[in-house]
Chain A
Amino acid sequence: MNGSALTLMVFAMGTVTLLTGYFFYRVLTAKPKPEPDSYTDNDDDE
């Protein structure tokens, strides 16, 4: 691959991959909000 194509590809793919990973990581590590929240999977069983 030529230099400019490789640079652009690595920059674009790298940026997109890093940001996707970063935001998903933030979602996974975010503190859960107190109940009742919008999600049922974390509700206590009655």
Chain B
Amino acid sequence: MANTENWGSRVGLILAMAGNAVGLGNFLRFPVQAIQNGGGAFIIPYLVCFLLMGIPLLWVEWSMGRFGGRKGNHSTPFILHEMDPKRALWKYIGVFGIFTNIAVAAYYCYLESWTLSYLWHSIAGTFNGQTADQVAGFFGNYVDINTSTTGIPFEPIVFWIICLLLNTWILAKGLSGGVEKVAKVGMPLLILFGIFLAIMAVTLKSGEHGAVNDGTVGLNFLWTPDYSSIWTAKVWLAAAGQIFFTLSVGMGSIQCYASYVRKKDDIALNAMSAGWMNEFVEVVLGASIIIPISIGYLGIDRVVEMTQSGGLGLGFKTLPYLFTQWGPTLALIAGVCWFGLLFFAGITSSLAMGTPVMGFLKDEFGWKHKNAAWFFGLIILVLGLPCVLYFKEGVFDEYDYWAGTVGLVVFALFEIILFAWVFGMDKGWREINAGADIQVPTVFRFIIKYVTPLFIGGVFLASLPGIWEKITATGLPWQVHAARVLLLLMFATTCWFVRVAYMKRKANLKNWTK
């Protein structure tokens, strides 16, 4: 069966791509990274990394996808193989573009299910009348399988299954009938909710509704620059890491979405539009919600202390309580906006993780679209279950580290080398510019060939000590070791599937030439 999917409209494709990039990290990770790495000065290395690494990678991945799609490839193993058919290595490097999506979706869907659950609890008014400690403790109770906050047994599993079913059902509807429709509704709503919450946060007044600071105190704290920080390697690494994380580059999902674009159609402007839309959500909306509200109620010292453990705590343990200070009606509206916004940010990303796997099964094994979608749902169910059951033991973080952090950098490093040095910049530059609706500045030819590979190589080298530390760490619970084995098995199985697909292709070619 031929893989003959199409996008409905150009705006739909851009919103789906932007939705792929916009995730929970835009609202929970970026502001925390900024606070921990020089405040307002963080924006300098962040934007430099976006220009020298993010934008080039976006163009490279979009053009790789469109190139592969012309030859009927919609997943990275055979997109990469098509770019250098003589070397067997690339199709196995391309396995990262399937493996990472599966492994990230396995824990990300669980995270997404929290937003769904908290959305439900915001509507039900669960947090009204609770103390700050009770709301913070609610999260711990929620992720504990044996405790139910609604009376529903195994509550986190129930919400997680609902989330998985929703993702699978939408994926089964196809690109234009499912993914694109969700992006067309979800992205505008997300921006609208974000604008509402940002206005609420910035206009917060000290003394009103129990606030101890104006909203602008939080903004002032977040944006006050410590220029000395930009000379430290740690800050640049954090900025590069944030760019990787936020743009969803190095995953294989951009290539898959772009593989349904024809050669004469633009990718250069599309990539810019989707990429900058993500930056708008991150820099403008992401920086204006969580920190101003938290500092408005808790003060700077307390918030700095809380951000040491990341943004998840603020988003799920603190904000629901702070919303209740606005009174029941506004708390309901703010809760729906905040968790609705996080849910849309999550689902538009998790849907993008399903499409490369489905594209691979359809291209190589002739699977029907619906079957491929349900198979993806099944893999996520199996691989995600340890994250749900052993969240507190660190399985979730283990998946996030190996697949969602290391995997992205490794794959991006290989793909930029393939594109700029093996496929060649002459062909690569033609690919980027084919059908382009904007003039891509020529300086990017130099950047893609020299600067971006060096940049990503630097990020990879700098992360090696951390990787070594992880590998040699002792005293880890057995669940973490089991998670590592599971991830390795997943990678090996995907390699085996790619090998079988390749042999099948060879046999077909032999029969055809006979």
| Contact status A16-B280, CB under 8 Å | yes
B437 partner residues in chain A, CB cutoff 8 A: 26-27, 30
Contact residues in A for B264 (Cβ distance below 8 Å): 33, 37
**Which B246-295 residues sit within 8 Å CB-CB of chain A?**
260-262, 264-266, 269-270, 272-273, 276-277, 279-280, 283-284, 287
Distance in angstroms from A11 CB to nearest chain B CB is 8
**Which of B2-10, B82-90, B145-153, B321-329 lines the interface with chain A?**
B2-10
Chain A residue at smallest Cβ distance from B11: A27
Binding stretch for chain A, among B218-226, B388-396, B400-408: B218-226
List, in ascending order, chain B residues with CB within 8 A of A26's CB: 269, 273, 437-438
Interface string of B349-375 (1 = CB under 8 A from A): 000000000000000000000000000
* Assembled-state Cα–Cα distance A11/B311 (Å): 25
Question: Measuring CB to CB, which residues of chain B are less than 8 angstroms from any residue of chain A?
Answer: 6-14, 39-41, 43, 47, 176, 216, 219-220, 222-225, 260-262, 264-266, 269-270, 272-273, 276-277, 279-280, 283-284, 287, 435, 437-438
CB–CB B47/A12 < 8 A = yes
Cβ of A20 and Cβ of B279 under 8 Å apart?
yes
Shortest CB–CB separation between residue B17 and chain A, in angstroms? 11
Q: A1-B219, A19-B276 are in contact. List 18 more A-B contacts (CB 8 A).
A: A2-B224, A4-B40, A5-B40, A6-B220, A8-B40, A8-B223, A9-B40, A9-B219, A12-B283, A13-B283, A16-B280, A20-B280, A23-B276, A26-B269, A30-B269, A38-B7, A39-B7, A41-B176
Known contacts A8-B223, A30-B437, A39-B13, A16 near B283 by CB under 8 Å: yes
A37 to B437, CA, bound (A): 14
With known contacts A17-B280, A37-B264, A38-B262, A12–B7 Cβ distance under 8 A? no
- Expressed in whole angstroms, the Cα–Cα distance for A8 and B46 within the complex equals 13
CB neighbours (8 Å) of A19 from chain B are 276, 279
Q: B9's closest neighbor in chain A, by CB?
A: A41
Residue in chain B with minimal CB distance to A19: B276
Interface string of A5-46 (1 = CB under 8 A from B): 110110011011101100110111010010011111110000
A17 with B220, Cβ < 8 A, contacts A27-B11, A30-B437 known? no
In angstroms, Cα B279 to Cα A13, docked, is 9
Output the least CB separation between A3 and chain B (Å): 10
A1 B216 Cβ-Cβ under 8 A: yes
Whole-angstrom CA separation of A24 from B188 in the bound complex: 13
Q: Cα distance A1–B261 when bound, in Å?
A: 46
**Closest Cβ–Cβ distance, residue A8 to chain B (whole Å):** 4
Measured in the bound complex, the distance between the Cα atoms of B271 and A20 in whole Å is 11
List 18 contacting pairs A-B, 8 Å CB cutoff, sorted by A: A1-B220, A4-B225, A5-B40, A5-B222, A9-B219, A12-B40, A13-B287, A15-B47, A17-B280, A19-B276, A24-B276, A26-B269, A26-B273, A27-B269, A27-B273, A37-B265, A38-B7, A38-B260
With a cutoff of 8 Å between Cβ atoms, the chain B residues found around residue A5 in the complex are: 39-40, 219-220, 222-225
Tell which of A6, A16, A20, A41 touches B223, judged by Cβ atoms closer than 8 Å.
A6
Closest Cβ–Cβ distance, residue B300 to chain A (whole Å): 13
Q: Is the CB of A16 within 8 A of B224?
A: no
Contacts of B13 in A (CB 8 A): 38-39
Q: A38: which of B11, B261, B276 is its contact (CB, 8 Å)?
A: B261
B276 neighbours in A (Cβ, 8 Å): 16, 19-20, 23-24
Q: How far is the CB of A1 from chain B (nearest CB, A)?
A: 4
Complex Cα gap A6–B202 (Å): 13
Are B6 and A39 in contact, CB atoms less than 8 angstroms apart? yes
Closest 10 CB pairs of A and B: A5-B223, A8-B40, A20-B280, A23-B273, A9-B223, A5-B224, A1-B220, A20-B276, A41-B9, A41-B8
Instruction: Give the residue name and chain of the A residue nearest to B270 (CB).
Output: A27
Complex contact A13–B435 (CB within 8 A): no
On whether the beta carbons of A40 and B176 are closer than 8 Å, the reply is: yes
A5 to B47, CA, bound (A): 17
Q: Looking at the assembled complex, report how far the CB atom of B413 sits from the nearest CB atom of chain A, in whole angstroms.
A: 27
Tell me, in angstroms, the Cα distance from A8 to B261 when the chains sit together. 38
- Nearest CB in chain B: distance from A29 CB, A: 10
B233–chain A nearest beta-carbon distance, Å: 22
In the assembly, what is the distance between CA of A31 and CA of B9, in Å?
Answer: 14
**Cα distance A15–B43 when bound, in Å?**
12
Return chain A residues, CB-CB under 8 Å to B14: 24, 27
